[in-house]
């Protein structure tokens, strides 16, 4: 009887060990292996209730020495403020995304650092870059201030479009100037007020 009990105990222990080995062997490695694919940046979703208060980031972003003294906006450039800090950079690319020329994007690096820059994707309300425009308010504008070593620095939420205005567009020169403002969010959800945004570029 004692021997039977010992054999029974050994059998149960062996079964448990076999089950553990099976579970471990079924684990999969989901680590990113590189390759040609680009990691996807997921737009943050605001899950706060209406009664909740958005946490505003008091630190804003560091100001750039190259931007503090600028008063005018030269061609192929952008700038904006976060509180008392001013950031600016170059628009090296601007082009339309549809046949109606009413949806477009522009982007370019920041003068604040080689790894940072601005991206805007904008949809106008009906009228596109097929004629002269003045004070044209965009229906939707997505703001993205990036750092190549991080997912992003600031990003607008899908349900909180930036205010984006084409102050003037000359169809003969293809040059657009305007303003923008809105709320950008950090990765941890903190809100940063983006104000006094300005741009000037030639679009193709």
Q: Mind listing the pLDDT tens digit for each residue in 100-120? A: 999 999 999 999 887 899 999
Q: Do residues 91 and 201 make contact, with C-beta atoms less than 8 angstroms apart?
A: yes
Cα–Cα distances in angstroms (integers) from residue 161 to residues 24, 54, 75, 89, 137, in the given order: 47, 16, 25, 22, 12
pLDDT higher than threshold 70 for residue 22: no
The residue-averaged pLDDT of 152-158 equals 89
Q: Which residue has the higher pLDDT, 27 or 166?
A: 166
pTM above 0.75, yes or no: no
Looking up tokens 């991080």 gives: 150
Q: What pLDDT, on the 0 to 100 scale, is given for residue 70?
A: 67
Distance, in Å, from the CA atom of 177 to the CA atom of 154, rounded to the nearest integer, reads 23
* Helix, strand or coil, per DSSP, at residue 19: helix
């Amino acid at each position: 009887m004692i021997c039977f009990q010992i054999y029974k105990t050994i059998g149960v222990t062996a079964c448990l060990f076999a089950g553990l080995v099976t579970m471990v062997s079924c684990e999969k490695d989901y680590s990113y292996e590189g390759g040609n694919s680009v990691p996807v940046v997921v737009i943050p979703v605001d899950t706060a209730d209406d009664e909740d208060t958005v946490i505003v980031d008091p630190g804003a972003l560091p100001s750039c020495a190259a931007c503090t003294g600028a008063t005018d906006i030269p061609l192929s450039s952008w700038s904006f403020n976060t509180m008392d800090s001013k950031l600016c950079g170059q628009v090296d690319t601007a082009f339309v995304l549809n046949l109606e020329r009413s949806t477009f994007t522009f982007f370019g690096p920041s003068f604040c650092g080689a790894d940072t820059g601005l991206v805007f994707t904008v949809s106008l309300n009906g009228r596109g870059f097929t004629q002269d425009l003045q004070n044209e308010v965009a229906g939707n504008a997505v703001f993205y201030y990036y750092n190549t070593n991080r997912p992003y620095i600031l990003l607008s939420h899908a349900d909180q479009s930036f205010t984006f205005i084409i102050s003037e567009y000359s169809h003969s020169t293809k040059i657009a100037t305007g303003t923008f403002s809105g709320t950008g969010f950090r990765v941890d959800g903190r809100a940063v007020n983006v104000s006094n945004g300005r741009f000037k570029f030639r679009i193709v």
